[in-house]
Amino acid sequence: MKIALVQMEIKEKQHAENTAHGLEMLEEAAGHCDLAILPEIWTTGYSLGHLQEQAETPGDELIRRLQDMAARHHCALVPGSFPMRWEDGRIYNTALAINAEGKVLSRYGKAHLFGMFHEEDFFASGDRFEVYGLNGVQCASTLCYDMRFPELYRYLALRNAQLILVPAQWPDRRGYAWDVLCRARAIENHLFLAAVNAVGTFKQDVFYGHSRLVDPNGCIIAEAGHGEEIVYADMDPARSEEVRKILNSLADVRLRISVPPFADEDK
């Protein structure tokens, strides 16, 4: 499967411009790959003062355009994430997965909300974790800060995910963590990880870029730089199974461990 990592610049308080530019880059990528991925919160960025008006709803024009694009190019899309009001009336930081026929297969609401950006003041926390098939590959979606919570990735791996997608807005000053976590989540779960970061700025932060596709051994197959670009990379899902046959730590995992109380001398 050929994957396009669409690393775009996201501008503060430029909802219309971001949306148009993201669609333009995605359109370019979709004609040359089997799966195209955008960064997190690419329509609004983290300038969320007008969230109530800018949140999408199921069936809105943006979602229809994304579905049409997928069907026209016969290309699956995980178009990053954007604010979306769900049927319960709450707004979630939402990642959709759209197959090559234009059907929405999965809707993921970010589970771990980033306290430093006060996401909890704007978004509800999601609790639906799905594995879905795109072009014969078992995929799952997570978002940015989720990478710091390995339990989620282990859960998805045990549900037979072969590729985990991570749209993100990750800052340059924590680039070392991006480098380590992308590879760690892939290695410990014997799967591919496609992490698509933004570039640009938000307040004092500069986004790190360095979108990458990582293989089940933690090797970087392809990686973007620090600017706006589209990176194409091929993955063979059979590689995940090959690695698991050689060293299958998932078969040895202990899911239920009782932790004894600390002894006084260990406190």
- For residue 239, give the CATH number of its domain: 3.60.110.10
Verify whether residue 144 is a known catalytic residue: yes
The catalytically annotated residue of 9, 33, 40, 139 is 40
- Give me the pLDDT at residue 185, please: 98
Verify whether residue 40 is a known catalytic residue: yes
Structure tokens at 107: 């809707």
- Give me the pLDDT at residue 253, please: 84
> What pLDDT digit, counting tens, does each position of 19-36 carry?
999 999 999 999 999 999
HSE-up of residue 249 (Cα within 13 Å, Cβ side):
10
For 114, residues 6+ apart whose C-beta sits below 8 A from its C-beta are 144, 145
Structure tokens at 188: 């410990």
CA atoms of 213 and 208, how far apart (whole Å): 15
Tell me the pLDDT band of 263, cut-offs 50, 70 and 90.
low
Do β-strands 192-196 and 212-214 pair in parallel, antiparallel, or remain unpaired?
antiparallel
- Give me the pLDDT at residue 251, please: 84
> What pLDDT digit, counting tens, does each position of 76-132 carry?
999 999 999 999 999 999 999 999 999 999 999 999 999 888 899 999 999 999 999
Residues 103-108: contacts with CB within 8 Å, 24+ apart? 103/67, 104/63, 104/67, 105/132, 105/133, 105/134, 106/130, 106/132, 106/141, 108/141, 108/142, 108/143
Q: Is the sign of the CA dihedral 156, 157, 163, 164 positive or negative?
A: positive
- Give me the pLDDT at residue 262, please: 67
Indicate whether 10 pLDDT > 90: yes
For 61, residues 6+ apart whose C-beta sits below 8 A from its C-beta are none
The catalytically annotated residue of 110, 139, 182, 223 is 110
Displacement of CA 240 from its chain's centroid (Å): 19
> What pLDDT digit, counting tens, does each position of 217-251 carry?
999 999 999 999 999 999 999 988 888 888 888 88
Residue pair 105/75 in contact (Cβ under 8 Å)? The answer is: no
Indicate whether 70 pLDDT > 70: yes
Rg (CA), the chain: 18
Tell me the pLDDT band of 50, cut-offs 50, 70 and 90.
confident
Indicate whether 265 pLDDT > 80: no
- Give me the pLDDT at residue 264, please: 62
The catalytically annotated residue of 33, 75, 139, 144 is 144
- Domain encompassing residue 118: 2-266
CA atoms of 213 and 66, how far apart (whole Å): 23
CA atoms of 261 and 119, how far apart (whole Å): 34
> What is the domain count for the chain?
1
Region of 210 on the Ramachandran plot (φ > 0 left; ψ -120 to 50 alpha; else beta)? left
Q: What's the average model confidence in pLDDT over 207-215?
A: 98
- Give me the pLDDT at residue 5, please: 99
Indicate whether 266 pLDDT > 70: no
Q: What is the pTM of this model?
A: 0.93
Residues 253/182/3/145 CA torsion (nearest 10 deg): 100
> What pLDDT digit, counting tens, does each position of 172-199 carry?
999 999 999 999 999 999 999 999 999 9
